[in-house]
């Protein structure tokens, strides 16, 4: 009988992992957050579906609690590992307010709604509020792959998701621990928070230090060092969680987060291999846990919430979220449309679901501080918010973005050879939304391995251009090695999609005149190379600086559209520009000139800025064109 039970469990685990991988593939294909497919898969095999997965499948609540706890540790570690200090520094100042003031509004606002609308005790209400602080990278990152918003918007959403994932887990742990001691005064909360956060910080720091020292100074294996580095890092996450949890129950999440944050910013050897490996492991763990948790969800728990549950979801989505976003972004460079987009894209994900189920299991234990009703209210409310926000905010994120017009127009580059990839790298460094089109399988795979967004197909095919975003493209670059193909691509882009700027690469210099006679802006590879060599010979300093365009320095041209600066003199505008940027040229009616201080700008003038990258971007925004 034991052998038969073991065999059934193996089949069940294999089925869960298979469904998880299938959900990830569907997510990538349909460009919808995988959480939705994972929930549907879990419901399909759970008590509400086929009924093949129950709590008893894993040896009861104790076994499932252990599995979920370790899985949460790995997920939190992976999220913290990706939270780079450089990313935080690049993110707008509003992010700090989103993860502090915004998190507080979400916590107490949600708790109040749950308490008054669902009649929950304050301890359960605060626990639910703490869990629903998290948006999380597992649902936000897939959205940003589908909706390529501007850098400042993406940085705010990504950083908020990663930080609040960890914050929500720790806050929920404090709330849950306070419930177990049945003392709900401020001093108890402070003590519990300090104990668990302090223990997590110390243990996480110690484990991270050991892992870093071993990877830096110990020859882990001359034959397969990258593999051992990956395994050592993963083991560090689990050891940090287990050791801290042994010292203080529920302190393991803080330790895993601390270890992940430190190691992720420690410039580890083989860091790219470690990130790729951890990402794959986390996807499997996330899929396994989410399907398992969704399988344990009973529809009666959702229906029991009634209209009060619907009201809670609406308050979370259309009252609290916009309130905290608009308060956090006051005085920032976010446009009203961008604020609305961030307001209506805040789906909840794996951390609320997994931690809620973990606590619900423990709340149903005989020694639990509350009854089964509290556990059902916890799971039902959290999953209802997850389901609705994932379906509406995750599933319709692209439509929301298009309606609010927050997606910058695309740059399509046909041909992912060296020229195409180098151009894409420079454009992406400036925040452009770049899509490569490539029909050669080897070239396509190389470009994807380098991290570029690539669509497979013939760029000279109208439907391929359309599927890659031709109707929303601002620039199309034909950069293949065949001049006839480049000419056809350029003509299709202009005639079928009315693209603003179309540029073709001419591999044979004798074709340049023919291209331009047809109205195609053409770059001769031979002439460009000769020009670059001439610059190195005659203008070496300028040549060296030009290679850094889009990185440390930049040159950008924008059209004057803002009424606030039309009629302004160059001298007056110079006084308001940030340090590190100059107005190099002003173009009017086809004439270019280095402007005099008393030159007055007119609507439609084209202004060229030169200087530090960030300073140029800020200057562009001040002169009427979004960076």
Which pLDDT score, from 0 to 100, does residue 627 have?
Answer: 42
Which pLDDT score, from 0 to 100, does residue 358 have?
Answer: 67
- Can you name the residues that pair with 608 across neighbouring β-strands? 557, 585
Q: Which of 101, 77, 62, 2 is nearest to 264 (CA)?
A: 77
Give the confidence band of 428 by pLDDT, cuts at 50, 70, 90.
Answer: confident
Let me know whether 204 and 337 are in one domain. yes
Total residues belonging to the chain: 627
Let me know whether 321 and 394 are in one domain. yes
Residues 364-372: what's their mean pLDDT?
Answer: 54
Contact 87, 282 (CB under 8 A): no
Contact 329, 138 (CB under 8 A): no
Give a yes or no: residue 91 inside a domain.
Answer: yes
Q: Give the burial class of 591: count Cβ atoms within 10 A of its Cβ; 0-12 exposed, 13-18 middle, 19 or more buried.
A: exposed
Angstrom distance (rounded) from CA 568 to CA 378: 59
pLDDT digits (tens, 9 = 90+) for 579-596: 888 888 888 887 888 888
Give a yes or no: residue 250 inside a domain.
Answer: yes
Top-confidence residue, 533 or 36: 533
DSSP, collapsed to helix, strand or coil, labels residue 435 as: strand
Last residue of a domain, one of 541, 574, 592: 541
Give the confidence band of 218 by pLDDT, cuts at 50, 70, 90.
Answer: confident
| Residue appearing with tokens 């930080």 | 163
Residues 149-170: what's their mean pLDDT?
Answer: 78
62-76 as b/e: b if 16+ CB within 10 A: eebbebbbbbbbbbb
From residue 373, alpha-carbon distances to 363, 370, 424, 497 in Å are: 10, 8, 55, 58
Contact 204, 244 (CB under 8 A): yes
- DSSP one-letter code for 10: H
Residues 425-451: what's their mean pLDDT?
Answer: 82
Give a yes or no: residue 627 inside a domain.
Answer: no
Give the confidence band of 367 by pLDDT, cuts at 50, 70, 90.
Answer: low
Helix (H), strand (E) at residue 236: helix 225-247
Lowest mean pLDDT among 125-134, 387-396, 500-509: 387-396
Angstrom distance (rounded) from CA 599 to CA 622: 18
Residues 386-414: what's their mean pLDDT?
Answer: 83
Angstrom distance (rounded) from CA 117 to CA 307: 9
Let me know whether 288 and 418 are in one domain. no
Is pLDDT at 208 greater than 60 in this prediction? yes
- CATH (domain of 90): 1.20.1530.20
Top-confidence residue, 58 or 414: 414
Read off φ and ψ for residue 593, nearest 5 degrees. Answer: -150, 150
Give the confidence band of 117 by pLDDT, cuts at 50, 70, 90.
Answer: very high
Let me know whether 385 and 432 are in one domain. no
- In the numeric block, which tokens belong to residue 492? 């299709």
Give a yes or no: residue 502 inside a domain.
Answer: yes
Q: Which of 340, 332, 325 is nearest to 405 (CA)?
A: 340
Taking the CA atoms of residue 462, residue 463, residue 467 and residue 469 in that order, the dihedral angle to the nearest 10 degrees is: 20
- In the numeric block, which tokens belong to residue 221? 């294996």
- In the numeric block, which tokens belong to residue 259? 């270890």
Is pLDDT at 356 greater than 70 in this prediction? yes
pLDDT digits (tens, 9 = 90+) for 274-307: 777 666 776 777 777 777 766 666 777 778 888 9
DSSP, collapsed to helix, strand or coil, labels residue 324 as: helix
Residues 559-579: what's their mean pLDDT?
Answer: 79
Is pLDDT at 477 greater than 80 in this prediction? yes
Lowest mean pLDDT among 339-343, 379-383, 405-409: 405-409
Counting residues of the chain whose pLDDT is more than 70, the rounded percentage is 84
pLDDT digits (tens, 9 = 90+) for 251-263: 787 788 888 888 8
CA R_g for the chain? 27
Give a yes or no: residue 169 inside a domain.
Answer: yes
Taking the CA atoms of residue 187, residue 191, residue 193 and residue 194 in that order, the dihedral angle to the nearest 10 degrees is: 130
Domain, as residue range, for 201 = 2-404
DSSP, collapsed to helix, strand or coil, labels residue 68 as: helix
Residues 16-24: what's their mean pLDDT?
Answer: 81
Give the confidence band of 206 by pLDDT, cuts at 50, 70, 90.
Answer: very high
Angstrom distance (rounded) from CA 349 to CA 389: 9
Q: Highest mean pLDDT: which of 96-110, 155-169, 320-334?
A: 96-110
- CATH (domain of 507): 3.40.50.720
- DSSP one-letter code for 566: T
Read off φ and ψ for residue 133, nearest 5 degrees. Answer: -65, -35
How far the first Cα of the chain sits from its last, in Å, is: 66
Contact 569, 600 (CB under 8 A): yes
- DSSP one-letter code for 57: G
Let me know whether 207 and 286 are in one domain. yes
Angstrom distance (rounded) from CA 81 to CA 262: 7
- In the numeric block, which tokens belong to residue 125? 């209400």
Counting residues of the chain whose pLDDT is more than 90, the rounded percentage is 11
Domain count for the chain, please give it: 3
Lowest mean pLDDT among 18-27, 109-118, 439-448: 18-27
Which pLDDT score, from 0 to 100, does residue 476 have?
Answer: 93
Top-confidence residue, 202 or 123: 202
- CATH (domain of 582): 3.30.70.1450
Which pLDDT score, from 0 to 100, does residue 57 have?
Answer: 67
Which pLDDT score, from 0 to 100, does residue 326 have?
Answer: 92
Let me know whether 331 and 465 are in one domain. no
Last residue of a domain, one of 491, 506, 541: 541
pLDDT digits (tens, 9 = 90+) for 307-342: 998 999 999 999 999 999 999 888 766 778 889 999
Q: Provide the H-helix boundaries in 296-345.
A: 299-303, 306-315, 321-328, 336-343
- In the numeric block, which tokens belong to residue 549? 């365009």
- CA-based angle 360:362:363, to the nearest 5? 60
Let me know whether 358 and 227 are in one domain. yes
Give a yes or no: residue 614 inside a domain.
Answer: yes
Q: Give the burial class of 566: count Cβ atoms within 10 A of its Cβ; 0-12 exposed, 13-18 middle, 19 or more buried.
A: middle
On whether the pTM is more than 0.85, the answer is no
Let me know whether 508 and 383 are in one domain. no
Last residue of a domain, one of 489, 506, 541: 541
Residues 382-396: what's their mean pLDDT?
Answer: 83
Which pLDDT score, from 0 to 100, does residue 89 have?
Answer: 60
Is pLDDT at 219 greater than 90 in this prediction? no
Q: Which of 431, 378, 404, 398 is nearest to 322 (CA)?
A: 404
Give how far the C-alpha of residue 191 lies from the chain's centroid of Cα atoms, to the nearest Å: 34
Q: Which of 18, 41, 38 is nearest to 27 (CA)?
A: 38
Give the confidence band of 565 by pLDDT, cuts at 50, 70, 90.
Answer: confident
Count of CB atoms situated within 10 Å of the CB of 183: 12
Give the confidence band of 626 by pLDDT, cuts at 50, 70, 90.
Answer: very low
Sheet holding 581-588, edge to edge: 553-559, 606-612, 581-588, 591-593
| Residue appearing with tokens 């604020």 | 339
Let me know whether 531 and 588 are in one domain. no
Let me know whether 121 and 166 are in one domain. yes
Lowest mean pLDDT among 26-30, 206-210, 315-319: 26-30
Give a yes or no: residue 190 inside a domain.
Answer: yes
Let me know whether 333 and 472 are in one domain. no
- Which bin fits 233, alpha (ψ -120 to 50), beta or left (φ > 0)? alpha
Which pLDDT score, from 0 to 100, does residue 378 have?
Answer: 82
Lowest mean pLDDT among 97-111, 361-375, 414-428, 514-528: 361-375
Let me know whether 393 and 417 are in one domain. no
From residue 301, alpha-carbon distances to 234, 373, 388, 457 in Å are: 36, 10, 15, 47
Mean pLDDT of the chain: 79
Q: Helix and strand tally (H, E) in the chain? A: 29, 10
State the helix-helix crossing angle for 103-118 and 122-131, rounded to 10 degrees.
140
| Residue appearing with tokens 């708790």 | 111
Which pLDDT score, from 0 to 100, does residue 278 have?
Answer: 62
Give the confidence band of 222 by pLDDT, cuts at 50, 70, 90.
Answer: low
């Amino acid at each position: 009988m034991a052998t038969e039970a073991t065999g059934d469990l193996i089949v069940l685990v294999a089925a869960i992992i298979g469904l998880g991988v299938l959900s990830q593939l569907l997510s990538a294909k349909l460009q919808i957050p995988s959480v939705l497919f994972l929930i549907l898969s879990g419901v399909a095999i759970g008590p509400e579906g086929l009924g093949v997965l129950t709590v008893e499948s894993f040896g009861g609540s104790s076994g499932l609690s252990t599995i979920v706890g370790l899985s949460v540790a790995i997920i939190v570690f992976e999220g913290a590992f990706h939270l780079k200090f450089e990313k935080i520094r690049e993110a707008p100042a509003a992010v700090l307010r989103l993860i502090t003031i915004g998190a507080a509004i979400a916590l107490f606002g949600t708790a109040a709604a749950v308490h008054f609308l669902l009649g929950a005790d304050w301890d359960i209400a605060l626990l639910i509020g703490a869990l629903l602080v998290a948006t999380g990278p597992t649902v936000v990152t897939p959205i940003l792959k589908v909706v390529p918003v501007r850098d400042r918007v993406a940085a705010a959403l990504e950083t908020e998701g990663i930080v609040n994932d960890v914050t929500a887990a720790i806050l929920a742990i404090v709330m849950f621990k306070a419930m177990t001691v049945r003392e709900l005064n401020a001093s108890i909360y402070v003590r519990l928070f300090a104990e668990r956060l302090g223990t997590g910080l110390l243990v996480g720091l110690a484990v991270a230090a050991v892992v870093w020292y071993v990877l830096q100074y110990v020859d882990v294996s001359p034959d397969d060092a990258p593999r051992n580095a990956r395994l050592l890092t993963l083991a560090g996450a689990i050891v940090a969680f287990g050791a801290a949890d042994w010292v203080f129950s529920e302190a393991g999440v803080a330790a895993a987060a601390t270890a992940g944050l430190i190691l992720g910013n420690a410039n580890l050897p083989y860091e790219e291999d470690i990130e790729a490996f951890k990402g794959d492991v986390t996807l499997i763990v996330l899929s396994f846990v989410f399907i398992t948790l969704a399988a344990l969800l009973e529809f009666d728990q959702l229906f029991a919430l009634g209209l009060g549950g619907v009201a809670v979801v609406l308050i979370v989505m259309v009252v609290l979220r916009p309130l905290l976003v608009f308060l956090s972004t006051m005085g920032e460079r976010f446009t009203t449309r961008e604020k609305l987009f961030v307001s209506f894209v805040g789906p909840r994900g794996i951390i609320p679901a997994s931690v809620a189920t973990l606590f619900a299991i423990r709340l149903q234990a005989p020694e639990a501080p509350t009854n089964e009703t509290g556990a059902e209210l916890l799971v039902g409310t959290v999953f209802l918010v997850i389901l609705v926000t994932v379906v509406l905010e995750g599933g319709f994120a692209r439509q929301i973005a298009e309606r609010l017009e927050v997606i910058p127009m695309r740059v399509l580059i046909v041909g992912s050879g060296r020229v195409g990839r180098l151009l894409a790298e420079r454009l992406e460094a400036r925040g452009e939304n770049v899509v490569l089109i490539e029909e050669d399988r080897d070239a396509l795979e190389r470009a994807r391995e380098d991290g570029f967004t690539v669509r497979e197909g013939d760029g000279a095919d109208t439907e391929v251009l359309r599927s890659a975003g031709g109707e929303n493209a601002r620039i199309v670059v034909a950069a293949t090695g065949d001049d006839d193909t480049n000419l056809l691509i350029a003509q299709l882009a202009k005639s079928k999609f009315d693209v603003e700027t179309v540029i073709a690469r001419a591999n044979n210099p004798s074709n340049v005149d023919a291209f331009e006679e047809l109205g195609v802006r053409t770059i001769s590879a031979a002439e460009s190379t000769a020009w670059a060599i001439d610059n190195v010979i005659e203008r070496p300093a300028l040549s060296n600086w030009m290679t850094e365009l889009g990185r440390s320095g930049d040159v950008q041209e924008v059209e004057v559209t803002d009424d606030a600066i039309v009629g302004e003199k160059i001298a007056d505008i110079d006084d308001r520009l940030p340090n590190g940027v100059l107005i190099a040229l002003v173009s009017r009616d086809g004439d270019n000139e280095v402007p005099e201080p008393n030159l007055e700008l007119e609507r439609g003038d084209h202004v060229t800025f030169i200087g530090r990258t960030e300073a140029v971007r800020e200057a562009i925004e001040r002169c009427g064109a979004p960076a």
